[in-house]
Amino acid sequence: MNTQPLTLNHIYLGNCCEVLATLPAQSVDLIFADPPYNLQLQNELWRPNQTKVAGVDAEWDQFADFKAYDTFTRAWLTACHRVLKDTGTLWVIGSYHNIYRVGMVLQDLGYWILNDIVWIKTNPMPNFKGTRFTNAHETLLWSVKSREQQKYTFNYEVMKHLNDEKQMRSDWDLWELPICSGGERLKSNGQKAHPTQKPEALLYRVILASSNPGDIVLDPFFGTGTTGAVAQKLKRHWIGIEKDSLYHDFALERISKIQPALLDDEFYGRLKTKRNAPRLPFAALLESGLLQSGESLYFKKQREQKALILADGFLRTADEKTGSIHQIGAYLGQMPTCNGWEHWYYEDEAGNLQVIDTLRERLRREREA
């Protein structure tokens, strides 16, 4: 099939497999998919107070059997694989009804799972009959396109800031935010506009963690457009695909009301950190004259453990060992690996030892100015 250029910030009305086939290969940075769960509800569910539970009994959630569901899953995940950039990542959310099947298909297609995230719901629907545990979480699988793919966006520092400066874990309670309710829930004639509208807080974390401002985020099961709404707020481009025209219209109206504030990218999650700073080889310090060949560097601030700087940026020890700042650091420190930037010191004009990372920072600042 002939592909068309991407239309950004747009909802395609139609079946996602058919629409995905028309989009260019390797064109989007992030995919978030909230597919039908195949809930297999057989009977109506009633609360003890005789009110009916609004379950997901829509036609779009119906499949003849597991085989039909697997065929559908394989089709849309294959179509996503083609459209996703090699450096992109894909998220799928589901419950115990479908997530194990989705996980198997992901792996069969070559995707490599990076994490499974548990979204813990603070106000889950009780198990009214008392016949099993309350089902209080959903699972998100986060994958790259192949096991070999090492390069992808993960805003580690941003997630850490979001978690009070502690490494973000894979169990998310979203600050005890309830499942989508209150003002956020779209209504039509007093009823929920969509049975499975996701909370914006969930998409906020997903998008902030795994994309950057200006990236393209695609959602093949757009529903009420939660992914697009959050992407718009966070200054990402978005593409939605939805086969139901009513949901399409709800989503369009919802997103049209959102104007992203036009602030600097840093406001939207592109924090400048050591991890994502432009790479600078050690030799750049020689080229820029901040260090000289023939000068000594001192390991771990100890004057007796030193090495000479060679013109190509390698170091040489007194026992004639030559290698990068990292290799020679590991050798002297008897460690399997060593980040040389943090362990080697130079002598400043006042005769004090300073870590060489300060020179790298200085050079980066000068180059940015």
Question: Using CB under 6 A, which residues numbered 46 to 75 contact ligand SAM?
Answer: 60
Q: Which of 168, 192, 232, 161 is nearest to 9 (CA)?
A: 232
Nearer to ligand SAM, 247 or 345 (CB): 247
Nearer to ligand SAM, 101 or 300 (CB): 101
Mark the segment that binds ligand SAM (CB under 6 A) among 150-158, 171-179, 216-224, 335-343. 216-224
Per-position x/- string for 149-168, each x denoting binding to ligand SAM as judged by CB under 6 A, each - no binding: --------------------
Distance separating alpha carbons of residues 159 and 182, to the nearest angstrom: 26
Shortest approach of ligand SAM to residue 251 CB, angstroms?
7
For the chain, how many residues are written? 369
Query: What are the two backbone dihedrals, phi and then psi, of residue 101, each rounded to the nearest 5 degrees?
Result: -70, -40
Residue 357: CB minimum distance to ligand SAM, A = 43
Q: Restricting to residues 2-21, which ones interact with ligand SAM according to CB under 6 A?
A: 15-16
Residue 359 CA to residue 112 CA, distance in Å, equals 38
Phi, psi of 55 (to 5 degrees): -85, -175
Residue 36 binds ligand SAM, judged by CB under 6 A: yes
Collapse the DSSP code of 117 into the 3-class scheme (helix H, G, I; strand E, B; otherwise coil) and give the result.
strand
- Alpha-carbon distance values, 272 to 212, 268, 276 (Å): 12, 12, 7
- Which range touches ligand SAM (CB under 6 A), out of 101-109, 166-174, 192-200, 345-353? 192-200
198 counts as binding ligand SAM under rule CB under 6 A: yes
* Per-residue contact flags (x/-) with ligand SAM for residues 93 to 132, judged by CB under 6 A: ----------------------------------------
Among 106, 171, 173, 182, residue whose Cα is nearest residue 144: 106
Least distance from ligand SAM to the Cβ atom of residue 100, Å:
17
Nearer to ligand SAM, 62 or 149 (CB): 62
Instruction: Convert 88-131 into a string of H (helix), E (strand) and C (coil).
Output: EEEEEEECCCCHHHHHHHHHHCCCEEEEEEEEECCCCCCCCCCC
Residue least distant from ligand SAM (Cβ):
223
The answer for 354, left when phi > 0, alpha when psi is -120 to 50, beta otherwise, is beta
**Strand bridging mode 84-94 / 28-33:** parallel
Which residues within the stretch 239-258 sit at the binding site for ligand SAM (CB under 6 A)?
Answer: 241-244, 247
Q: Which of 34, 70, 138, 215 touches ligand SAM (CB under 6 A)?
A: 34
Instruction: Collapse the DSSP code of 275 into the 3-class scheme (helix H, G, I; strand E, B; otherwise coil) and give the result.
Output: coil
Distance, in Å, from the CA atom of 298 to the CA atom of 217, rounded to the nearest integer, reads 47
Among the listed residues 143, 212, 226, 232, the single contact to ligand SAM using CB under 6 A:
226
Question: For residues 291 and 249, what is the distance between their CA atoms, to the nearest angstrom?
Answer: 62
Tell me which residues touch ligand SAM (CB under 6 A): 15-16, 34, 36, 60, 194, 196-198, 221, 223-224, 226, 241-244, 247
